[in-house]
A and B are shown apart, each in its own frame.
Chain A
Amino acid sequence: MLEIDNLTKTYADGLQALRGCSLTVPGAEVVAVIGPSGAGKSTFIRCINRLVTPTGGSIRLDGTELTALGERGLRGVRRHIGMIFQEYNLIERLTVMENVLAGRLGAVSFMQALLRRFPQADVDRAFELLARVGLEGYENSRADALSGGQRQRVGIARALMQEPRLLLVDEPTSSLDPKVARSILALICELASELGIPALINIHDVGLALRFARRVIGLSAGEIVFDGAPAEVDEAALSRIYGADDWRDAFRQEGEEDRHVAGEGMAS
């Protein structure tokens, strides 16, 4: 169970990315977060595993307050939050197997990681997951040799390797063509319900969101302005989320938010 209460984030230069967002995801549920570029989707999802440090509010995962955790405690919680990225964020020069095993990086010792001596149980599980995402036989390929869809499948396997209690998914399909995008999204939703865990998916493609999610959150200018079933997303809801179609503004803000997230992500 994920409980987010009155979450706010103001970046160092005064940009208010989140203005009091509250959300409760009771159990295994695929939640799509939609909204115009710059609405704070990226910041929202990164506040949950604290890749971005929230300014205020509270986040509880299965009862654990995440905003109060120290470095060590935070790493312990992150180990059980799987994340899937828009640009896959694979370790390009390493093999597919090393990328999947990287999901266990928080659980193994430095020497085990250095010498790539992961526990046999992890290796077995990695092989299973590779088969499950349709990449059987690819374990020794280098990540940079794969196609976009294959890379995202490795990203999914890495996230599942963590035995996650929550999946955070940031624009999983924006770098993929429509057909591959659908299959990737279907796979993520399938796996989330198989594992019985909640998944939060940032997605700007409203069509895909309505098709795959069981619940839709609309984010606009850092506030949740819609929360309901896909069937309830009508023209009124969409205009509330996307507002006047001032797309030029929206695009400029997206660049701004990406920069903030990247800047904060590298620190500490």
Chain B
Amino acid sequence: MSAPATVSPRRWRRPPVIATPWLRWVAVAGVIAYLAFAVVDLEFDYARFVRGVPRGVDMVVSMFPPDFSRWDLLLGGLLESLQMAFFATAIGVVVSIPIAVGAAANVAPKWLYAVCRGYIGVSRTFPEVLIAIFFVKAFGFGAFAGVLTLVIASTGFVGKLLAEEIEAIDPGQVEAMRATGAGPLGVLLFGVAPQVMPRYIGLVIYRLDINLRESTILGIVGAGGIGAVLYNSFARYEYDFSLAILLAIIAVVLVAEWFSGFVRARTK
């Protein structure tokens, strides 16, 4: 009996994340109320869910066996998708370079930085399908709109990530090149480019991988490629053909992913 019995045990609780009690309760009540409103407003209906399940099962059953009889149509769409992806990647990753340089705060003047960051911000705000809808309206149906979409998306993606890589380079190498009397292009070529090259190659391969996936769905909004064929097969209830298309897309995506991983693992 060493401790005096008069000392009560000191209790401890973790302090709440929101310190003010009334604010805490208002926040919790607000989230619950909005969730309830959303469920009611969207007419999320259990009975409808139950009725839909057998219909879904029917659809999956009618997909088998996959129908490859119209392989020419399938192959044509797939090849168009591949062409769109390669072409758009080739243009996009080259255009990305000046954009990335302009969007790197340590090498670009402030006004150019603002312009390039603005472009990257806008191009990354919209999902590919949204950009594709816009280009289909502007330039008509077909692969042209799809290619433009993928170019814009590629420049935003590669531009942003490459710019961040440029901002993280060793300034000493840049300083040494400036000290030799090299002009801005010379400094970029020797002081900056070698430092970011492995990352750039990785980004190019990664973007090609993404563009291959994207090119398969852009057809759904009319921007060319296998997506249009897929959409039509669904509209005509030719689910066995749909499955054949889906299997082909999965095969392409898997190959692309394997290739992307293979190359990126070798550019360190």
Contact = CB atoms under 8 A, between A and B. Distances in A.
Interface stretch (A55-63, A88-96, A123-131): A88-96
A157 interface: no
A222 B186 CA distance: 33
Contacts of A106: 180-183, 186
A103 interface: yes
Contacts of B198: 93
A162 B185 contact: no
B233 interface: no
A104 B181 CA distance: 8
Given A91-B173, A92-B195, A102 B179 contact: no
Interface string B153-185: 000000000000000001111111111111101
Contact of B177 (A81, A105, A110): A105
Contacts of B183: 75, 106, 110
Contact of B190 (A75, A81, A85, A102): A102
A51 B194 contact: no
B98 to A, nearest CB: 14
B97 interface: no
B178 A93 contact: no
A51 B175 CA distance: 7
Question: Chain A interface secondary structure, helix, strand, loop or mixed?
Answer: mixed
Contacts of B177: 91, 102, 105
Given A90-B173, A91-B194, A92-B195, A105 B179 contact: no
B178 A51 contact: yes
B29 to A, nearest CB: 49
A91 B195 CA distance: 8
| Count class of interface residues, chain B | 20 to 34
Interface string B190-222: 110011011000000000000000000000000
Contact of A94 (B179, B186, B187, B190): B190
Interface in A102-120: 102-107, 110, 113-114
A87 interface: yes
B190 A162 contact: no
Contacts of A76: 181
B194 to A, nearest CB: 4
A74 B181 CA distance: 7
A90 B175 CA distance: 10
Interface string B96-109: 00000000001100
B180 A79 contact: yes
Given A113-B190, A266-B171, A93 B197 contact: yes
A36 B105 CA distance: 33
Contact of B176 (A81, A90, A113): A90
Contact of A105 (B172, B190, B197): B190
Contacts of B185: 110, 113
Contact of A49 (B106, B173, B174, B179): B179
Contacts of B194: 91-94
A83 interface: yes
Contact of A262 (B171, B179, B181): B171
A77 B190 CA distance: 20
A140 B65 CA distance: 59
A168 B175 CA distance: 13
Nearest to B176: A89
B111 to A, nearest CB: 14
B180 A89 contact: no
A114 B189 contact: yes
Nearest to B109: A268
A49 B181 CA distance: 9
B252 to A, nearest CB: 34
25 contacts: A74-B181, A79-B180, A83-B179, A90-B173, A90-B176, A91-B173, A91-B176, A91-B191, A91-B195, A93-B198, A98-B190, A105-B186, A105-B187, A106-B183, A110-B185, A110-B186, A110-B189, A113-B185, A113-B186, A113-B190, A114-B189, A158-B176, A265-B174, A266-B106, A266-B107
Interface of B: 106-107, 170-183, 185-187, 189-191, 194-195, 197-198
Interface of A: 49, 51, 74-81, 83, 85, 87, 89-94, 98, 102-107, 110, 113-114, 158, 162, 168, 262, 265-266
